[in-house]
Chain A
């Protein structure tokens, strides 16, 4: 089955720790995205990538970093600079930035200890 997988489902971060959220897709999509979801705020774009080895900041990139070394993978690192990381993180992909339908993974919930 083609789709997007995210792991882990739950992740706990200690103070000052960097954590990495995994996102993998086997849809052969060029574009991938990371969103943050907080209650009552909808989805906010963190980073996106339209092709391997290229990525762009979204609306709330501070405290986050990404890489796109492989077409199927787009990991997100939540750094210690992100002071309020508790949220639900969603990864998405689309065939390209010009083709508009996004497909979403199941999400990772990040909690701070």
Chain B
């Protein structure tokens, strides 16, 4: 079964600084990978996804993520963080083949942005 690890429970950055949130997965084949963001008391919003092709994926709100097969990672990055980026971020992984798809979610990383 697939699994996903987000090693950092909390990350604190200053506004304007760069950001990298880590995501490592365990899956036998090429996974489908997602990053979602959740503001307090809200649902999850899709930031970006990787299914195949270019390993550097661009998303909404200036975020990008890079799939590195050799490291089993899909880290989320942003060059300059805004105060409004403070939220919970979830990485998710799913099976690559057809049929049913139920993603496994990481436990989330809480991003705190200092002014």
Contacts and interface: CB of A to CB of B under 8 A. Distances in A.
Interface of A: 4, 6, 33, 35, 40-43, 45, 48, 50, 58, 88, 90, 92, 94, 97-107, 109
The secondary structure that dominates the B interface is loop
A101 B90 contact: no
B99 A107 contact: no
Contacts of B45: 104
4 smallest A-B Cβ distances: which pairs? A104-B43, A97-B100, A42-B107, A43-B105
Contacts, number: 57
Nearest to B100: A97
Given A40-B9, A42-B90, A43-B90, A100 B43 contact: no
A88 B105 CA distance: 15
8 contacts: A40-B9, A45-B102, A88-B41, A98-B99, A99-B101, A100-B101, A107-B43, A109-B41
Contact of B102 (A97, A106, A107): A97
